Amino acid sequence: MAIAKHTHIAIFGTSLIRKMFNEGTRLKKEFGADNVYDFSLGNPNVLPPVEFTEAVIKIMKKKIPYKHAYMTNGGYAETREYVANFLTDEQGVELRKEDIIMTCGAGAALNLLFQAILNVGDNVVVSIPNFVVYKTYVENFGGVLKTVPCQENFNLDLEAMEAALNKDTAAVIINSPNNPSGVIYPESQIKDLSVMLERKSRELNRQIYLVSDEPYRQIVFDGVEVPPILSNYSNSILVSSYSKSLSIPGERIGWAAIHPDAEDADLIMQAMIMSTTGMGFTNAPALMQRAIVEVNGITVDPEVYRKKRDLLSSPLKEMGYDFILPHGTFYLFIKAPGGDDIEFAQLLQDENILSVPGSGFNMPGYFRLSYCVEDNVIINSIPGFKRAIKKVLAKVS
C-alpha cells in the first residue's frame, strides 16, 4: 500500500460523510438536482449579510499598500485587536491582541493548537456525539482522541468524563452549540465541568486545558444564550470561525483565543504563530481579516435557521420521529426509527434523502440532518420521510 497508514485510517474515519456526499452527486446526476434532498453537509445555503459583501467591495476598491501581501503570521494587529475587544465583552475576561491568532477557520486553529500542546501519546477527551474530524486533528500530532458517553439529552456526562481523564490527558474539547446534536451546554454544566477539571488537574498534577470549539455560537434561537467559557475556567482556549456566522466557510477565516492566565499561554501562542508557516497556510486570508473588522459583529440572521428548523421538525415530529428540539446550529439529530442508523439512512437514501448516520459522530442509533438548505428541499422531502418511517413501523408491528 503506497498511502501512509495514518492517512488510510483518517479516510476511513470520515467515510460516512464522504459516502453521503458522493451518493448525493450520483443521485443528482441520475434524478436531477430538484429531486434529491441533500441534508448531508453543513454547508450554509443562506447568503452572507449584505454588510459583508459591501465590506469586501470597499476594501478591494481602497488603495492600501501591501494589501495582498504576507503579514505577521498571527494576523493583522488591527484584526487581532478587534477580536480581542469583541471577546472581552462576550467572555467577561480582558483579552489583548497578543492573546489572539487569526487562522484559516476553526479547523486550522485546532490543528495549530494541538501541534502546540500535544506530546505523542497524549489524549484529548471529548463527549459524544462529536464532530468527526477532531480525531484527525488530534492524531495529526500523535495524540489520541478519547470519546466518552453523554447524558440522554446530549449534555455532558461529567462522571464519565472524569473517569476518562488520566496523566496523559492534555485537554478536554467541548463544542456548544454542538454539531451534530445542536445542544447548548447550560452555564451550570460549564461551571461543574470547570470545578471538576480544576480538581483533576491538581490530582493528576497536570494542567488540563479546556478547548471550546464554537463556530455555531451565533446560530442560536428561542432566546437561549451560550454561556462564556473564559470567565469560568482560566486554563481555557476558544476556537471559532466566521464559516457559519457569516456563511463564508469557503473563505477560511477564524481564530483562536488563549486565556491570558492559561498555563504557558504566551508559549502556546508563540508556538501556534510559528507553526502557521510549517503547516503551509502561513497566515489567515488578508482580505477576510480586513472584512471582519468592517462587518463589526454583524451575522446572518439566526431566525432564518429557526424557521427552517420548524419547517422540518414539525412534520417530522408529527410522523413519529423522536428528537430533542435544538436551540442552536442548523442540525437535527434524530433517533433512527428501528434503531439501526445505517439501515435507516439507506431507507432515506431510497427516497433520495441524504442524511449522515450517527455512527459518523460516534453515536450509532441516530442520524443527522443539516437543514441549511432551501425551503423547497425541506418541503419536497417530507413525503419521503413519511414513507421511510412507515416502512420501519410496518416491519415492527
Per CB under 6 A, residues contacting ligand PLP are: 42, 105-107, 131, 175, 179, 213, 215, 241, 243, 249, 254
Of the two residues 130 and 235, which places its CB atom closer to ligand PLP in the complex?
Answer: 130
Of the two residues 179 and 289, which places its CB atom closer to ligand PLP in the complex?
Answer: 179
Of the two residues 236 and 243, which places its CB atom closer to ligand PLP in the complex?
Answer: 243
For 84-92, the CB contacts below 8 A with 24+ separation are 84/257, 86/297, 87/230, 87/238, 87/257, 90/228, 91/228, 91/229, 91/230, 91/231, 91/238, 92/228, 92/230, 92/231
Nearest distance from C-beta of residue 396 to ligand PLP, angstroms:
33
Nearest distance from C-beta of residue 111 to ligand PLP, angstroms:
9
Nearest to 196 by CA among 144, 154, 152, 159: 159
Of the two residues 220 and 389, which places its CB atom closer to ligand PLP in the complex?
Answer: 220
Q: How far is CA 252 from CA 261, 287, 288, 292, in A?
A: 28, 11, 8, 12
Nearest distance from C-beta of residue 175 to ligand PLP, angstroms:
5
Who contacts 198 (Cβ-Cβ below 8 Å, separation ≥6)? 233
Rg (CA), the chain: 21
Of the two residues 182 and 228, which places its CB atom closer to ligand PLP in the complex?
Answer: 182
- Provide the 3-class DSSP secondary structure of residue 358: helix
Identity (one letter) of the amino acid at 105?
A: G
Of the two residues 289 and 352, which places its CB atom closer to ligand PLP in the complex?
Answer: 289
Nearest distance from C-beta of residue 191 to ligand PLP, angstroms:
22
Nearest distance from C-beta of residue 250 to ligand PLP, angstroms:
9
| CB-based contact 37:20 (threshold 8 Å) | no
Who contacts 371 (Cβ-Cβ below 8 Å, separation ≥6)? 39, 305, 308, 309, 311, 312, 330, 331, 332, 378
Residues 234, 225: Cα–Cα separation, whole Å:
21
**How many CB atoms within 10 Å of residue 207?**
16
Of the two residues 107 and 326, which places its CB atom closer to ligand PLP in the complex?
Answer: 107
- Beta bridge partners, 367, equal 334, 357
Nearest distance from C-beta of residue 87 to ligand PLP, angstroms:
16
Of the two residues 150 and 388, which places its CB atom closer to ligand PLP in the complex?
Answer: 150
Nearest distance from C-beta of residue 106 to ligand PLP, angstroms:
3
Output DSSP code: residue 115: H
| CB-based contact 208:200 (threshold 8 Å) | yes
**How many CB atoms within 10 Å of residue 4?**
9
Beta strands in the chain (DSSP E): 37-38, 100-103, 123-127, 144-148, 169-175, 209-213, 236-241, 254-258, 331-335, 353-354, 356-357, 366-370
Nearest distance from C-beta of residue 130 to ligand PLP, angstroms:
8
Nearest distance from C-beta of residue 42 to ligand PLP, angstroms:
5
Nearest distance from C-beta of residue 104 to ligand PLP, angstroms:
7
Of the two residues 117 and 347, which places its CB atom closer to ligand PLP in the complex?
Answer: 117
Of the two residues 114 and 385, which places its CB atom closer to ligand PLP in the complex?
Answer: 114
Helix (H) or strand (E) holding 71: none
